Chain A
Amino acid sequence: MSEQLQSDFDKIVKTWKISKEEILIKKNFLNKFIESGFPNRKQEDWKFLDISQIIKKNISALSFFNDYSQSNKIDSSTFVDGLEHNKIIFINGRIEKIDFNYEDQNKIEISDETKKDISFDYENSLIDLNSAFTHKVFKILIKKDYSLKKPLIIYHSTNEKIKSTNINLRLDFELGENSCLKLIDYFSNNTTKNFINIFYNFNLETDSILKNYKIDKFRNNNLKYSFNNIEQGNNSVSETFILSAGSDYFKNEINCNLNGEYSSAFINGLFSLKEDQQHEIRSTINHLVENTKSYQLIKSVLGKHSKSAYQGRIFVNSKAQKTDGYQLSKAILLDETSEFNAKPELEIYADDVKCSHGSASGSLNEDSIFYLMSRGLNYQQSKELLINGFLLDVVEKITDSEIKNLIKNIIGLKE
């Protein structure tokens, strides 16, 4: 694989117009990645789902080079209906369009001249891979006291031009004081067997609010990895919702540093899997100062041969008194072949805290089914009703009512 990486990298140097300095930085990341390779199950964070095996099994020869010189046609039929929104459109990892038509243009700043280095500690070779091969890093700055009028939807799509390719993309967001951003990641991939590696960096200043909704609903054969790094200042709020249902493999990783007092983080996740799908959410919440709060709720419904994993970690620094941390993961296994793994972890160094976690997994309750059937539903209907109720619980946690309705429509949950 390292030869492939090297030769693809040389192609980039030749075809992309990038400065010498940048090449050096990229080269550095490339070498780091070549040294460690794809993460495997020997690493604690990849214990449950081994991505190096999964890539090997699904994609025989992965190529890392993309030609970004030609633009792709935008298919407007995939756009979300019934919700006015701003757009960023990625096709095959290339930004085709950035459209903030609904907003005050003076309040938003977009630049692609950001620093490529990474400011936080990580032990993750996929970030090295991303940094070595990502084309352009856009930075979106929301200025002080500005709340976006409409949500921003980022469309992630691929077309038939690429196959067995690794796509890397990165966006940096900076939310100024007292600003607000609602961000929807919308995945619609028609192609198969690509490995998409997404890396977002969020910096939340005092009193800012970030709401990020990741919607991977439509069945596709791609492998995806997404990493969100969220730095939070005083009194800021981050809300992340993940609907993990479409891809063959999808791992969402969220690293949230609560650096400011009274900041809070919410993560809600939903797995709805069938047929050989393997999905994972891994969250790390670092409570670093006093009076911070985090809440996580993850639910899985697992069909035939599917597998979901949840690794949640709450870390409480010795300074972070009065922390409130909560994690709950629940799973329904529908078939003999489905599998649920969890590792809810607490690491606590302060004594005046309230931290707890819970995890439960099992099959649908036969008593409940019996109850519904005695009221005239058939077996299938009762099952569906129970599952929908189970999932709705997570969707109801979404604080934005417009987006909540949109997601309900997408999942097919009715009021």
Chain B
Amino acid sequence: MDTREKDIEKLKDYKYGFTTDIENIKAPKGLNEDVIKFISNIKKEPQWMLDFRLKAYERLKLLKEPNWQKPKYPKINYQDLYYYSAPKSMKDKPKSLDELDPKLLETYKKLGIPLQEQARLNGIAVDAVFDSVSVATTFKGELTKHGIIFCSMSEAIQKHPNLVKKYLGTVIPVTDHFFATLNSAVFTDGSFVYIPEGVKCPMELSTYFRINASETGQFERTLIIADKGSYVSYLEGCTAPMRDENQLHAANVELIAFDDAEIKYSTVQNWYPGDENGKGGIYNFVTKRGLCKGKNSKISWTQVETGSAITWKYPSCILKGDNSIGEFYSIAITNNHQKADTGTKMIHLGKNTKSKIISKGISAGFSDMTYRGLVDINSKAKNSSNYTQCDSLLMGNKCGAHTVPYIKNKNFDSNIAHEATTSKISEEQLHYCQQRGLNPEEAVGLIVNGFCKEVLQQLPMEFAVEAQKLVGISLEGSVG
């Protein structure tokens, strides 16, 4: 097989594994104050933003990398990474899609996000983040009409400094854990969403993240604010090229919901998982946290995690407002040598708060999957309730599935219920499906999709179809 054929063969497994040859501007390698100043400078940030970063960096120097997680990884040399990488043509931001580098557009087309068409046909507003910077945001006009702000974080820092200054770092403070603080110091771009009072966002907002350059870390920062009585549904998708070295992705996502507001955040994470021998792949160490600040507010996380060599994240809800609701729906699939340690935290502070956790884990090959979750009901959170269900499915006896729930109930009016099961696909089920004419792989696909149904239902339509396919692809070759 010549190299070209090999490449094609490889691409079959992970169809987003191509790289794009685009000239990049990079910050000097390493992590120090100068690099942070460089990032801040190149993005023409105001002084307060630089101060924010430097404060985080000061704090970072005191922090140690946590190591309580299940999947262990070789030590990351933080001085050997590029903390900023941007396509050269982006130095002067294009005014409209037509001015975009055609190569970039080509890349997004390959990813299945033809920006222009998508904008027109689907009515989904897209913000695409390539390596470190946001390259294009579609559908601006329609959104502006409703007073909705949907733009890149850098743009928001320039155009809406008051909002950013007021809310950035309020849910994930600069003094948080190691990776969150690292992000606060060096974050490059991300999405910013503000939904004004009483507005129901008329379309799904969506962001695509892509890591292209090698030896870079991607540190994006997303901030979503839903003002009183508003509603927004936000989608996030991620891919990366295939590379032999491991790449770090440490994003921070902050959500704030005021009185009666609702935020629905869906993720389909399909970073490059490494090859079947566990070489390469993305370290996906993400901090996602939502604050239900107001009364009757609601935050709902839905995630489909199929990619990444290591996934380590716990999208959480802080239920501060009375009657607020937090939800977490997750499917995590690991195959080959992938590892995942994921789950959620539900922190009940307000009265009558409710939370629901549905987690489905599927592990195959040599992979390892952990659900780790915290339900903490504070003594003031009267009449709160939580329901947790986490099911794991094992395929083969080389993989592992683990459940580590932490349950803290300090309020006698509140109820917590937790259930977990671990099982495998039964021979009877397989036999039944095969008898009806499905081949073993199709049969497994069908059964797994049924197993995940509760979560898939939560995804917006367009995403659900994609996710369903992804579930099938991720498990290819795991039967037999």
A407 on the B face (CB < 8 A) = no
Contact call B415/A360, Cβ cutoff below 8 A: yes
Among the listed A321, A333, A352, A358, which residue makes an inter-chain contact with B409, where contact means beta carbons less than 8 Å apart? A333
Provide the residues of chain B in CB contact with A354, threshold 8 Å.
422-423
Complex alpha-carbon distance, A350 and B419, angstroms: 20
B22 on the A face (CB < 8 A) = no
Among the listed B397, B398, B412, B419, which residue makes an inter-chain contact with A363, where contact means beta carbons less than 8 Å apart? B412
Task: Please judge, given known A-B contacts A345-B404, A351-B424, whether A339 and B410 are in contact too, CB under 8 Å.
Answer: yes
Q: In chain A, residues 321-366, which have Cβ atoms closer than 8 Å to a Cβ of chain B?
A: 321, 331, 333-363
Complex alpha-carbon distance, A353 and B423, angstroms: 6
A318 on the B face (CB < 8 A) = yes
A346's closest neighbor in chain B, by CB? B403
Complex alpha-carbon distance, A341 and B410, angstroms: 8
Among the listed A334, A338, A342, A348, which residue makes an inter-chain contact with B392, where contact means beta carbons less than 8 Å apart? A348
A21 on the B face (CB < 8 A) = no
Provide the residues of chain B in CB contact with A355, threshold 8 Å.
421-422
Complex alpha-carbon distance, A19 and B421, angstroms: 53
Q: How far is the CB of A296 from chain B (nearest CB, A)?
A: 14
Measured as residues with beta carbon below 8 angstroms from the partner, the interface class of chain B is: 20 to 34
A350's closest neighbor in chain B, by CB? B397
B414 on the A face (CB < 8 A) = yes
Contact call B399/A341, Cβ cutoff below 8 A: no
Contact call B400/A334, Cβ cutoff below 8 A: no
Provide the residues of chain A in CB contact with B411, threshold 8 Å.
333, 336
Interface code A48-81, partner B: CB below 8 Å = 1, 0 otherwise? 0000000000000000000000000000000000
A355's closest neighbor in chain B, by CB? B422
B395 on the A face (CB < 8 A) = yes
Contact call B397/A361, Cβ cutoff below 8 A: no
A160 on the B face (CB < 8 A) = no
Contact call A342/B397, Cβ cutoff below 8 A: no
Contact call A321/B397, Cβ cutoff below 8 A: yes
Task: Please judge, given known A-B contacts A336-B411, A339-B409, A363-B412, whether A358 and B418 are in contact too, CB under 8 Å.
Answer: yes
Q: In chain B, residues 389-432, which have Cβ atoms closer than 8 Å to a Cβ of chain A?
A: 392, 394-424
B68 on the A face (CB < 8 A) = yes
B434 on the A face (CB < 8 A) = no
Provide the residues of chain A in CB contact with B414, threshold 8 Å.
362-363
Provide the residues of chain A in CB contact with B401, threshold 8 Å.
346, 348
Interface code B51-76, partner A: CB below 8 Å = 1, 0 otherwise? 00000000000000000100000000
Provide the residues of chain B in CB contact with A357, threshold 8 Å.
403, 418-420
Q: How far is the CB of A365 from chain B (nearest CB, A)?
A: 10
A117 on the B face (CB < 8 A) = no
Complex alpha-carbon distance, A343 and B396, angstroms: 27
Interface code A92-111, partner B: CB below 8 Å = 1, 0 otherwise? 00000000000000000000
Q: How far is the CB of B71 from chain A (nearest CB, A)?
A: 13
Complex alpha-carbon distance, A333 and B410, angstroms: 8
Task: Please judge, given known A-B contacts A335-B412, A338-B412, whether A359 and B398 are in contact too, CB under 8 Å.
Answer: no
B379 on the A face (CB < 8 A) = yes
Contact call A346/B409, Cβ cutoff below 8 A: no
Complex alpha-carbon distance, A351 and B366, angstroms: 12
Provide the residues of chain A in CB contact with B394, threshold 8 Å.
348, 350-351, 353
Task: Please judge, given known A-B contacts A348-B394, A352-B424, whether A337 and B418 are in contact too, CB under 8 Å.
Answer: no
Contact call B412/A333, Cβ cutoff below 8 A: yes
Greatest chain A CB density within 10 A among B406, B412, B424 is at: B412
The 7 closest A-B pairs by CB, nearest first: A333-B412, A362-B415, A351-B394, A359-B418, A342-B407, A346-B403, A351-B424
Hey, which bits of chain A sit against chain B, CB under 8 A? 44, 318, 321, 331, 333-363
* Sampled A-B contacts (15; CB under 8 Å): A318-B397, A331-B409, A333-B412, A335-B412, A339-B410, A340-B408, A344-B420, A346-B401, A346-B422, A347-B402, A351-B399, A352-B397, A353-B424, A359-B418, A362-B409
Hey, which bits of chain B sit against chain A, CB under 8 A? 68, 379, 392, 394-424
What 19 new A-B contacts, CB under 8 Å, besides A346-B401, A347-B400?
Answer: A321-B397, A336-B411, A339-B410, A340-B408, A341-B407, A341-B408, A344-B407, A345-B405, A349-B400, A351-B396, A353-B422, A354-B423, A355-B421, A358-B417, A359-B417, A359-B418, A360-B417, A362-B409, A363-B415
